[in-house]
Amino acid sequence: MIKFNKKHFNVFFVTFLLLNFILKVTLSQNLAQTKSRVQILSSEEFHGRGYVFEGADKSAEYISNELRNIGVKAFKESYFQVFGYSVNTFPDDGYVKLNRQKLLPGKDYLFGHSSPKISKKYEIFLPDSILLNDTIKFEEMLRESEFKNYALIIDYLKTKNLDIKKYYIRKMMYNKDFGCIVELIPDELMWSVSRFVQTYPVIKIQRGSFDFKSKRLKIKINSKYFPVFAAKNVIGYIPGETDRFIVFTAHYDHLGRMGKSVYFPGAQDNASGVAMLLDLADYYSKNPPKHSIAFIFFFGEEAGLLGSRFYTQYPFFPLEKIDFLINLDLVGTGDEGITVVNGAEEEYEEYMRILNEINNELDLLPQINKRGKSVNSDHAPFNDKGVKGIFIYSMGGKTYYHSPKDKPETLTFAGYESLFKLLTEFVLRIENK
C-alpha cells in the first residue's frame, strides 16, 4: 500500500494529466475523423447521395473503400447488393417566375417531387380565405368553370382546420381541375423522393417569398423518370467467435439534387448514421467481438425503405442468426439525449433496462426516451420478419429535415461519443446473455 506524500501526489498528478491529455487527443481525433466523414458524404461532390450525377455510386464507392481500409470482410465478391426501382429525378435546372420575376430555387421554392417535365404559363387562381375554407362552394365553382390554365394557390396559413387542410392535400394528390398546384409553405420547405410521375406540376413556395399581387406564373421543370434505377446496399462484417450476429444498419442515400443549383447534403439524414457505423467498424476491427458484427448501409430509405425491404427478402446470411439489430438514422446531435423506437414495446423492456443501466453507470446521455413501434426507418422491415431490433435517433440541437440546409455545420455531435460508448457497452452486455 502506498502512503501518500506530496511527491507521490505530484507524480500521480502529472501522470493523470498526461493520461487525460492522451485520452482527449485520441477521442478528439476520432471525432475529427467522424466529422470529416460527415463533411465528405455531405459535400457537393456526392450530390446529395441520390439519383443524378452518380451521387449514389460515388457514395457507395466511398463507403466500400472505407470498409476495405478498416478491414471489414465482404460476404460475397464485393460489398454490394444490387437492386432496382423506379424514381422521378431532376437532373437539370428549371425555373419558377411570378410576374416575370424569377424565384430562387431551394430557397424560395422546390418543385413537387412527383412533378412531370413541363414548360408552361398559368393564370393565378388565389381563393380568398372564405372560398378556401368553404369546400362545398369550392367544389361548385369547379363544376361551373374550367381551370386548366390556372395555377391553384393553396395558402396553408389560411386553411382554418385540419379537415380543410386534408381536403386540399387530396386535391393536390388527385388534381384533375387545375393546370398546376402551388402550395404556400409557412415553415421550412421540405423535399422528398417519388417513385412515380403525376400528370401536373406542383410547386412548393416559401410563403414569405410569394407576391400575393402576382397574376401570372411561368414554370419550367426538367424532371426525368427512371423506370429502373440501379441501387446498391453496401454490406460487410467483422467475424466473431460464434455463428450469431449483431447487426448495425444506417441508410446512406438521401434526396439527391433538384437540378444543378440545389442539392440536399443530408448531413444529419443520414451521413451521421453512416459515420457512426464506420466508427463502430473501426472499433470492432481492433476489439474482436464475441458474435459477428454486420454493418449494412442501405440505399432507397428515402424512397420508402426499399433497400432494407429488399435485403430482408434476399439476406446475405439467415435472418434467424441475428441476435439484435440497431438502426441509426439522424444521430449527429444528442444535446437532449436519444430516442429509442420500439423502446416502449413490452418485448423490449429488458433491452431498455440495459441501455438505461449503462447510461446511468457511465453517466453518458442526458436522457433515453422511448417510443412504440414505428415504420419510420430501416429497422421496420427486419421487425416485420421477426428480427428483434431498435431504431435510435438523437434529440436536441437545431437541424433541418429534408432541406438544403441539412448541412454538417448544424450538427452539434453533443451526444455522439456517448452514444458510441452506449452502443459498444450494450453489445458487450447482450452478447453475454
Cα separation, 390 vs 328, in Å, equals 9
In the complex, least distance from residue 110 CB atom to Zn ion, rounded to whole angstroms: 18
In which element (H, E) is residue 148 found? Answer: strand 147-155
By beta carbon distance, the residue nearest Zn ion is: 269
Pick between residue 175 and residue 270 the one whose CB is nearest to Zn ion.
Answer: 270
For the segment 269-288, give every residue that binds Zn ion (CB under 5 A): 269-270
Q: Give residue 74's identity as a one-letter amino acid code.
A: A
In the complex, least distance from residue 158 CB atom to Zn ion, rounded to whole angstroms: 32
Cα separation, 138 vs 158, in Å, equals 15
Pick between residue 269 and residue 323 the one whose CB is nearest to Zn ion.
Answer: 269
Pick between residue 155 and residue 378 the one whose CB is nearest to Zn ion.
Answer: 378
In the complex, least distance from residue 50 CB atom to Zn ion, rounded to whole angstroms: 12
Q: Give residue 275's identity as a one-letter amino acid code.
A: A
State the number of binding residues for Zn ion (CB under 5 A).
3
In the complex, least distance from residue 377 CB atom to Zn ion, rounded to whole angstroms: 6
Cell of 132: 378556401
Report the alpha-carbon angle 210-211-212, nearest 5: 105
For the segment 1-40, give every residue that binds Zn ion (CB under 5 A): none
Cα separation, 144 vs 351, in Å, equals 61
Pick between residue 66 and residue 269 the one whose CB is nearest to Zn ion.
Answer: 269
In the complex, least distance from residue 374 CB atom to Zn ion, rounded to whole angstroms: 13
Cell of 73: 470482410
Q: Which residues contact 279 (CB under 8 A, 6 or more apart)?
A: 30, 33, 34, 420
In which element (H, E) is residue 139 found? Answer: helix 135-144
Pick between residue 108 and residue 329 the one whose CB is nearest to Zn ion.
Answer: 329
Residue 74 class from Cβ within 10 Å (0-12 exposed, 13-18 middle, 19+ buried)?
middle
In the complex, least distance from residue 13 CB atom to Zn ion, rounded to whole angstroms: 46
For the segment 213-272, give every residue that binds Zn ion (CB under 5 A): 269-270
Pick between residue 329 and residue 425 the one whose CB is nearest to Zn ion.
Answer: 329
Pick between residue 273 and residue 315 the one whose CB is nearest to Zn ion.
Answer: 273
In the complex, least distance from residue 225 CB atom to Zn ion, rounded to whole angstroms: 23
Cα separation, 299 vs 82, in Å, equals 10
Cα separation, 218 vs 197, in Å, equals 20
For the segment 298-357, give every residue that binds Zn ion (CB under 5 A): 329
Cα separation, 76 vs 235, in Å, equals 9
Pick between residue 273 and residue 289 the one whose CB is nearest to Zn ion.
Answer: 273
Bridge partners (DSSP) of residue 101 are: 98
In the complex, least distance from residue 330 CB atom to Zn ion, rounded to whole angstroms: 6
Per CB under 5 A, residues contacting Zn ion are 269-270, 329
